């Protein structure tokens, strides 16, 4: 897990920075005259595996240590991403040389500035966590629920699915699961559902399928069911995803 620098590390880092970018010849301040943080705390050896100069033998604590951090302006942070030029040895020498100029005249970071730095770090870590979670999330997602549909002529048990992911979902099948692990997939789907059914569901769109209560009841009676049961409703897509949910109890005896 990515670790953030301690307050002591941040204070020492700024004290020996002189509030100036460590890149040779750069005089860009880290905090401007309005106390706005415009510079960046940079890792010499990256904090994550995808970063520049990542050292897998380092601990998270070592990655967040004073020795592995350097203050740079945004431009030179990008410049030093060129690892063919800016090696670990080069950046550590740059840091050491820059900090040697301010040992006798350290920069006194204020409590306000320290708070700004800590908030900036927390925000960056939160964004990293959000991005990581987003990258791990399956872009094919569907929310399902059972709903009751009533018309002047009949009532229906319907299964609604909404595409809550980022990709188009192309359905291959759907159905109602029974307690004996069989499925009702071949029943006649009334026009109220069939007319609006489509296989390709865009992000944010939904699809509604269902059966007439009377039809369901008699189908279940023919299968030997009595009393109350619950259905599991499912949708499958063409690349192997399956989404399911469970219904409220359905009283079969009402249809005898």
**Which residue, 113, 119, 117, is CA-closest to 35?**
113
Considering the chain, what percentage of its residues have pLDDT values greater than 70? 95
| Domain edge (last residue) among 136, 155, 181 | 136
Q: What is the pLDDT of residue 50?
A: 83
In the prediction, which pLDDT does 235 show? 92
End-to-end CA distance of the chain, in Å? Answer: 61
Average pLDDT, the chain: 89
45, 87 in Cβ contact below 8 A? no
CA 21 to CA 17: how far, in whole Å?
A: 7
State how far the Cα of 247 lies from the Cα of 228, in Å rounded to an integer: 11
Same domain as 132, residue 16 = yes
> Is 42 within 8 Å of 77 (Cβ atoms)?
yes
Q: Which of 136, 153, 169 is the last residue of a domain?
A: 136
What's the rounded mean pLDDT across residues 169-173? Answer: 92
Give the per-residue pLDDT at 186. Answer: 60
Domain boundary among 87, 114, 136: 136
- What was the pLDDT predicted at 73? 95
Average pLDDT in the 93-103 region? 96
Q: Are 69 and 58 contacting, i.e. CB atoms less than 8 angstroms apart?
A: no
- Could you identify the residue written with the tokens 């499912």? 234
Same domain, 79 and 165: no
> In terms of residue numbers, what domain contains 248?
142-255
Whether residue 2 is contained in a domain is answered as no
pLDDT at residue 99, rounded to an integer: 96
Choose among 241, 217, 240, 140: nearest CA to 231.
217
Based on the domain organization, do 24 and 127 belong to the same domain? yes
pLDDT of residue 1: 59
Q: Say if pTM beats, i.e. exceeds, 0.75.
A: no
Shared-domain flag, residues 60 and 31:
yes
> Given this model, what pLDDT does residue 28 score?
95
Q: Summarize the confidence of residues 213-229 as an average pLDDT.
A: 89
Q: What is the pLDDT of residues 126-165, one digit of tens each?
A: 877 776 666 666 788 999 999 888 877 788 888 999 999 8
pLDDT tens digits along 45-86? 999 888 899 999 999 999 999 999 999 999 999 999 999 999
Question: What's the total number of domains in the chain?
Answer: 2
- The pLDDT tens digits for 228-254 are 988 899 999 999 899 999 988 889 888
Residue 1 lies in a domain: no
- Residue 187 is predicted with a pLDDT of 66
Query: Tell me, what's the pLDDT at 134?
Result: 61
The pLDDT tens digits for 2-38 are 788 999 999 999 999 999 999 999 999 999 988 899 9
pLDDT recorded at residue 123: 84
Residue 116: pLDDT over 80: yes
In the predicted model, what is the mean pLDDT of residues 104-110? 93
């Amino acid at each position: 897990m990515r670790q953030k620098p301690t307050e002591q590390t941040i204070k020492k880092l700024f004290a020996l920075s002189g509030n100036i970018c460590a890149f040779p010849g750069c005089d860009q301040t880290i905090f401007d005259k309005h106390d706005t943080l415009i510079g960046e705390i940079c890792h010499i050896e990256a904090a994550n595996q995808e970063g520049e100069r990542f050292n897998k033998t380092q601990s998270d604590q070592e990655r967040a240590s004073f020795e592995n951090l350097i203050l740079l302006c945004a431009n030179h942070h990008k410049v030093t991403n060129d690892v063919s030029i800016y090696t670990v040895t080069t950046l550590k020498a740059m840091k050491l040389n820059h900090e040697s100029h301010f040992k006798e005249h350290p920069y006194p970071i204020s409590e306000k500035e320290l708070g700004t730095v800590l908030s900036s770090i927390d925000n960056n870590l939160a964004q990293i966590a959000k991005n990581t979670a987003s990258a791990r999330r399956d872009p094919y997602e569907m929310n399902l629920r059972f709903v009751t549909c009533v018309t002047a002529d009949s009532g229906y048990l319907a299964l609604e699915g909404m595409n809550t992911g980022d990709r188009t979902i192309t359905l291959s099948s759907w159905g109602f699961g029974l307690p004996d692990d069989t499925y009702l997939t071949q029943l006649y789907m009334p026009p109220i559902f069939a007319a609006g059914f489509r296989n390709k569901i865009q992000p944010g769109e939904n699809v509604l399928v269902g059966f007439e209560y009377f039809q369901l009841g008699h189908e279940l009676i023919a299968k030997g069911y009595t009393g109350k049961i619950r259905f599991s409703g499912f949708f499958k897509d063409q690349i192997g995803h399956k989404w399911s949910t469970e219904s409220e109890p359905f009283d079969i005896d009402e249809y005898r």
